[in-house]
């Protein structure tokens, strides 16, 4: 089955700096790659996603890139703010199953 | 309510007791998922419902775990003869589109 690895497990940055989180997946049939943000005491919330027919997608300060050949994808957050502090999860799925397989999460801390 | 509702938010039980966790999905969402999140870990898939049927229950850890969904809406996750290793946050999510999951805030289960 699919296996998703995520790095780093923790990331500390200064406010205004960029943050990058990387994930790799094992199943070449996976074609949908969402990113979720989980704040303390809450469930994960979808922040951005990308499908395998696209190499990059941006939404304001957040961007995701996908390299199908290497089977890895990354989340980029620019101009980080303290409210970006949370745990971020990447995930992968195949469109015919809908089941998301999640990475182990990255705890991002943005210091003012 | 507009979001996924889970109850109870916290449950403390004694080893060997049975527990039931409830999930009210977003109205109209046909897909429903249960995930488990252990302390500091990622999200572990348990079971997925499409309507009232469960095409994928591959993540249930043992036969002590079961889940049902009735009327294409509310779902109950039951853990029989709870063990200490069952302690975790149990998250429910629903979706109307493949992959775009909306999570509840979870049930924190503590088995003493």
Per-residue pLDDT of chain A (112 residues), as tens digits, is 889 999 999 999 999 999 999 999 999 999 999 999 999 989 999 999 998 888 999 999 999 999 999 999 999 999 999 999 999 999 999 875 668 999 999 999 999 9
β-pair partners for A72: A24, A67
Looking at CA atoms only, how far is residue A79 from chain B in angstroms?
26
Nearest by CB: B99 against A41, A43, A100: A100
Cα–Cα distance, A4 to A88 (Å, whole number)? 13
Q: What does DSSP say about strands A19-25 and B5-7: parallel, antiparallel, or unpaired? A: unpaired
Residues of A in contact with B104 (CB under 8 A): 43
Q: Most A CBs within 10 Å: which of B24, B42, B54, B56, as the mutation test of the A interface?
A: B42
The pLDDT tens digits for A51-79 are 888 899 999 999 999 999 999 999 999 99
Chain B residue whose CA is closest to A4:
B42
Closest CA to B28 of B48, B9, B4, B53: B4
Mean pLDDT for B69-88 is 95
CB contact at 8 A, B35 and B41:
no
Residues of B in contact with A6 (CB under 8 A): 42
Residues of B in contact with A94 (CB under 8 A): none
**What's the confidence (pLDDT) of residue A1?**
82
**What's the confidence (pLDDT) of residue B97?**
79
Q: What does DSSP say about strands B31-37 and B88-95: parallel, antiparallel, or unpaired? A: antiparallel
Mean pLDDT for B32-40 is 90
The 8-class DSSP code of residue A83 comes to: G
């Amino acid at each position: 089955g699919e296996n998703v690895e995520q790095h780093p497990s923790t990331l500390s940055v200064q406010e205004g700096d960029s943050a990058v989180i990387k994930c790799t997946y094992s199943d070449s049939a996976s074609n949908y790659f969402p990113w979720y943000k989980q704040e303390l005491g809450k469930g994960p919330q979808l922040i951005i996603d990308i499908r395998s027919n696209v190499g990059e997608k941006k939404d304001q300060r957040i961007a995701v890139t996908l390299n199908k050949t290497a089977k890895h994808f990354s989340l980029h957050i620019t101009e980080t703010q303290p409210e970006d502090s949370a745990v971020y999860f990447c995930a992968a799925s195949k469109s015919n199953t809908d089941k998301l397989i999640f990475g182990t999460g990255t705890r991002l801390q943005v210091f003012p | 309510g507009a979001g996924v509702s889970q109850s109870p938010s916290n449950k403390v039980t004694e080893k060997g007791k049975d527990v039931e966790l409830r999930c009210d999905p977003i109205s109209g969402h046909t897909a429903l998922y249960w995930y488990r999140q252990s302390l500091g870990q990622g999200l572990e898939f348990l079971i997925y419902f499409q309507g009232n049927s469960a095409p994928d229950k591959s993540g249930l850890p043992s036969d002590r775990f079961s889940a049902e969904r009735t009327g294409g809406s509310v779902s109950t996750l039951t853990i029989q003869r709870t063990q200490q290793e069952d302690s975790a946050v149990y998250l429910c999510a629903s979706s109307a589109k493949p992959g775009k999951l909306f999570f509840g805030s979870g049930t924190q289960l503590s088995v003493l």
